[in-house]
Structure 1
């Protein structure tokens, strides 16, 4: 999604058309929401089974029947989805089909489409590194959604760590219960952002979309390679012909991804990993279908 505004506008139009056609074509059926959250409207009661959330106990029915019951809920169609999008300098990296920032825009377009197709509202908090946070209020309708995606795509990346502040912005000011989607490469250590994410998950259903490029998992054997840290500008020369170095890099990268996955799970967030070298839209569809299957069960 590079080039001047006219070229970028055409790319965004094609992206939104692709998202609407693929998602509407593959995700037919009743509206069930992006995540299988508990909803807010009271429904019927049923007997408690192991694994049910004790916070949904129906105490009046339990007292009358002397058998533990839980209260079922119906998904609220008037929910808000908030996108927290990391557009810091580390997103301007990509060695496959696209940059990570392009993948972030694509993921935001998919999440926005899934939100507005159910009649809900979507807003965003966009992090621009040390440039601060850009906020857009939650609004409904396709025109508002298209404007939001254009704002995200036109955001200029800046260096600087920002993920903890970005996630914290989802809780300030306090918002009504809904869905919070965090789109980032999660390169910052989990101890810096896990507490904020856990706080958001207390009130909202949280989806973490992790952006990944294959070169972040393993180094190619191409001789001496100059690597530039986009956040600091520091340059490191690496001898990639060193097999032991490549193996240590792959092990460290795998451990980093495992730490991120464990931190997201401990914080109560659902996890979707998108790669710059894969069919990201198919991955989104598979994730949504799996969430619907979980709700059906």
Structure 2
């Protein structure tokens, strides 16, 4: 009696990646698409550029959409509605720096990043919409030299925007197959790649843990917001918010390789750590809000799919009521 055939050892990593992507594709198409029906409105629906009718101003509306002629005629403030473009271009800035290769929950942070990218690509790649991506790793050139500004190399990879299910699956496969390298990331340069060259108005999504100093990426994010709807997906792990009491804990910085021993048995140390982590996350949230980006937080110890569905539902509800951030 023969035993079941086993996969060759050299093919195991690739086969495992393909199996994970296949399950992820089914999860997204069945559950996410079943809960969020319809092409428009999407995850971050662009308001479009074609002028539509006007309605009375409501608190929270964007003052840049004020319809001044109608306001002058009616003596009541009105805002201009726009018709959504029938073709949408979405660009993903996917941060796969060394700090993403970590996780103590149900998944690694990297897994959540790939899952979020797959879900976003699926939600927007329909009806002729195009999806592209720029991927950044944690690699740094020797001697602290400057990175390559675009294309492949210098820690960055650009995938051109294309339409079609096969092209989107190839994009997700490229994201999942990107090798995480040691070194510090340059999130600001990654975001700035979405500004060059200038593109038609669309949706720009930045997926990262945003551990880089906000001063590094705030300005490129604000520049990106001028032309695009921006969504920032922050991926974090519960151990980044608080430390467990496990005695002496050896910790390795994935970006620098430095080893530290942390005495987690000290309650004052755990308290200071939690306070510093909360302040850091508050600073990140404030910087994203100041940059005009919608903010979605996904955790490795929670159901990322459910969190994404709730976020989309809240966005749709806000737009239906006519209120925007």
Tell me whether the two structures share a fold, i.e. TM-score over 0.5.
yes
Cα deviation, residue 277, structure 1: 0.5
Tell me which moved more, 47-56 or 206-215.
47-56
Matched, 1:275 2:284: no
**Mapped partners of 2:27, 2:61: distance in 1:** 38
**Mapped partners of 2:69, 2:120: distance in 1:** 38
1:248-267 alignment runs, 5 A limit: 248-267=272-291
Cα deviation, residue 139, structure 1: 0.8
**Structure 2 residue aligned with 1:155:** 178
**Mapped partners of 1:56, 1:293: distance in 2:** 19
**Structure 1 residue aligned with 2:62:** 53
Which of 94, 97, 109 is the equivalent residue of 2:103?
94
Q: Is the 8 A contact 1:33 1:118 kept in 2?
A: no
Cα deviation, residue 46, structure 1: 2.5
Matched, 1:246 2:270: yes
Matched, 1:214 2:238: yes
Q: Is the 8 A contact 1:221 1:241 kept in 2?
A: yes
Matched, 1:190 2:214: yes
**Mapped partners of 1:94, 1:57: distance in 2:** 46
Cα deviation, residue 58, structure 1: 3.0
Which of 175, 194, 197 is the equivalent residue of 2:199?
175
**Mapped partners of 2:264, 2:77: distance in 1:** 62
**Structure 2 residue aligned with 1:18:** 27
Q: Deviations over 1:204-233 (max 9, x none)?
A: 100000001011111111111110000000
**Mapped partners of 1:177, 1:72: distance in 2:** 16
**Mapped partners of 1:87, 1:145: distance in 2:** 19
**Structure 2 residue aligned with 1:134:** 157
**Structure 2 residue aligned with 1:122:** 131
**Mapped partners of 2:107, 2:39: distance in 1:** 33
Structure 1 vs Structure 2 CA RMSD: 1.7
Tell me the secondary structure at the aligned position of residue 135 of structure 1.
strand
User: Structure 1 residues 214, 153: CA separation in 2 closer, same or farther (over 3 Å shift)?
Assistant: same
**Structure 2 residue aligned with 1:235:** 259
User: Structure 1 residues 118, 97: CA separation in 2 closer, same or farther (over 3 Å shift)?
Assistant: farther
Tell me the secondary structure at the aligned position of residue 102 of structure 2.
coil
Cα deviation, residue 77, structure 1: 2.3
**Mapped partners of 2:186, 2:163: distance in 1:** 28
Cα deviation, residue 45, structure 1: 2.0
**Mapped partners of 2:171, 2:178: distance in 1:** 11
Cα deviation, residue 109, structure 1: 0.4
Gaps of 5+ in 2: 1-10, 141-153
Q: Is the 8 A contact 1:36 1:295 kept in 2?
A: no
Which of 204, 208, 229 is the equivalent residue of 2:228?
204
Tell me the secondary structure at the aligned position of residue 31 of structure 1.
coil
Cα deviation, residue 52, structure 1: 3.3
The total of aligned residue pairs comes to 296
Q: Deviations over 1:231-255 (max 9, x none)?
A: 0000001111111111111111111
**Mapped partners of 2:83, 2:203: distance in 1:** 15
User: Structure 1 residues 137, 61: CA separation in 2 closer, same or farther (over 3 Å shift)?
Assistant: same
Q: Is the 8 A contact 1:96 1:277 kept in 2?
A: yes
TM-score, normalised relative to structure 1? 0.95
Which of 207, 226, 244 is the equivalent residue of 2:250?
226
Which of 157, 169, 175 is the equivalent residue of 1:146?
169
Q: Is the 8 A contact 1:31 1:118 kept in 2?
A: no
Cα deviation, residue 33, structure 1: 2.0
